[in-house]
Structure 1
Amino acid sequence: MTKLGIMTDENTTTQRTQPTEAATEAAIDTGAQQRDQGAQAAAESAAPVDFEPLTATYERLRHSTDPAELSEFARRPLPDRADQAAFSRATALLEAVAGNPHTPVADRVFLADTMPFPNVLVKLSEDPEPSVRQAVAANGDDKNWLVGRLTKDPVPAVRDTALKNKRTSWKMRLEGAQDPTADAETLDFLGVLGTESEEGAPAVLSSMVRRAVALNPNTSEAMLAKLANDPSAEVRHAVESRR
């Protein structure tokens, strides 16, 4: 009887202990689950609620009629290049701003002056406002094919600016020197290439440009006098042929 009583007491104790341990484990699991849910909620609340996909933002800016919004975006400092995703996003969106005619002209000129990104400069090179295209023509980060295209612009000021850009190819410079509509100031610039400026320029190519300047009817007398003493015999002969 005694043994049976002891066993009964032990069973009772075990039965009492098991629910207690199960309850403790359940409480621990519930607490962990609540902590996980709290962490997830905190992460979700920390994420930007106004995030907009790139394509949606691009289209919104491309069709925006709000000059203030477009101006703010045009002047906004670019993200650090180390943040490649943010930097790429910003430069892509600048293309939309650059191509929007509602972006103020001053801001489009600012972008044309300061941006080194081909996608933005190409967009601005087609701008209907000549001052914007002229700013692109002067940009030292132009690709040579882009600035070469601007040497054929219908506006003389844009053409002349493009011809003075160091990124312009010698072929385009030669064609510019041969252009009967080129002004004297531009011809003065082209007439000293390889002598007084860009002294390391290819001798043959630069002398071809100077010879074309010597033959251009718009070349000033002062430039002709200078070319009469050019180190290239072909250039000097071109000047003599006009006497």
Structure 2
Amino acid sequence: MTDQNANESAAAPIADAPIPEPQSGTPASANDEAAPAAEPDSGSAEATADFEPLTATYERLRHSTDPAELSEFARRPLPDRSDQAAFSRATALLEAVAGNPHTPVEDRVFLASTMPFPNVLVKLSTDPEAAVREAVAANTDDKNWLVGRLTKDPVPAVRDTALKNKRTSWKMRLEGAQNPEVDTETLDFLGSLGTELEEGAPAVLSSMVRRAVALNPNVSETMLDKLADDPSAEVRHAVERRRRA
């Protein structure tokens, strides 16, 4: 055999030899060791597909004409505050629900009575239904500027309710006590501030309110009798002036 034939014979088995199967328990090549691609989690895929961006959900709820959908959302328990993203999303969407006139009135009253969130209460404070605005006026989580605005409401029940809210500023209380359209019951409340009610109230400010009550044409005789014995001299003098008139 020539050297050339010997070389060809030596090379042939190498090229044609089958690659042996890896033995059990023996690592394969690096490519063989790589784990196969994971199948997509059908639950995660569905969740991603169903997720709606906040702005899209907000606009959908704001324009929804489905009272049942809106009612369900209004009554839905809020996420725990520890989940800040979910909590912020839910409270933001409640603003859309609160501002939608297709949300049932009883649900808007519910939100106005129970929600502490300014963005929701501001929406409801301009609601066309007086019952909703009155619920906002009674909400003790109101900001003082918001409840103060409701002391100017054209509906007496809303205005009077706002004047009784502890969040109302003394300036608003004084203006309410001077308003000849305020009813007797509300004047009885205002005339008790700093004495029977809110005993720790600022003496000067509360006496100014009680003095204005004494001079209000709607004040009751029963309240005048109480104010006649008021610890503040200026209030007692106002009662005397009123009775002389």
TM-score, scaled to structure 2: 0.87
Structure 1 counterpart SS, 2:103: coil
Distance 1:27 1:145 in 2: 69
Does 2:122 align with 1:118? Answer: no
> Distance between the aligned counterparts of 2:70 and 2:214, measured in 1?
47
Please point out which of 19, 22, 25 is paired with 2:29: 25
Taking the aligned partners of 1:42 and 1:170, their CA distance within structure 2 comes to 60
Partner residue, 1:181: 181
State the distance in 2 between where 1:179 and 1:20 align: 99
Match of 1:156 in 2: 156
CA positional deviation for 1:164 = 0.3
Q: Partner amino acid for 1:115?
A: M
Say if 1:215 and 1:179 are closer, same or farther in 2 by CA, change over 3 A: same
Equivalents in 1 of 2:38, 2:93: separation in Å?
36
Q: Which has the higher helix share?
A: 1
Shift, 1:49, TM fit:
2.6
CA RMSD of aligned residues (A): 2.4
C-alpha deviation, 1:50, in angstroms: 1.2
Letter in structure 2 aligned against 1:237: H
* Equivalent-residue separation in structure 2 for 1:44 and 1:132 (angstroms): 41
In 1: Cα distance, 2:44 partner to 2:184 partner: 66
Alignment match, 2:241: 241
SS of residue in 2 equivalent to 1:37: coil
**Which runs of 5 or more structure 1 residues have no equivalent in the other structure?**
none
Task: Tell me how far 1:16 sits from its aligned partner.
Answer: 4.8
Taking the aligned partners of 1:118 and 1:220, their CA distance within structure 2 comes to 36
Q: 1: distance between equivalents of 2:44 and 2:72?
A: 29
After TM superposition, the structure 1 = structure 2 runs for residues 11-50 of structure 1, keeping only pairs within 5 Å, are: 16=17, 24-25=28-29, 28-29=32-33, 32=35, 34=36, 36-38=37-39, 40-41=40-41, 44-45=44-45, 47-50=47-50
| Identity, % of aligned positions | 77
The match for 1:128 is 128
Output the CA distance in 2 between the equivalents of 1:103 and 1:236: 50
* Letter of the structure 1 residue corresponding to residue 32 of structure 2: I
Partner of 1:98 in structure 2?
98
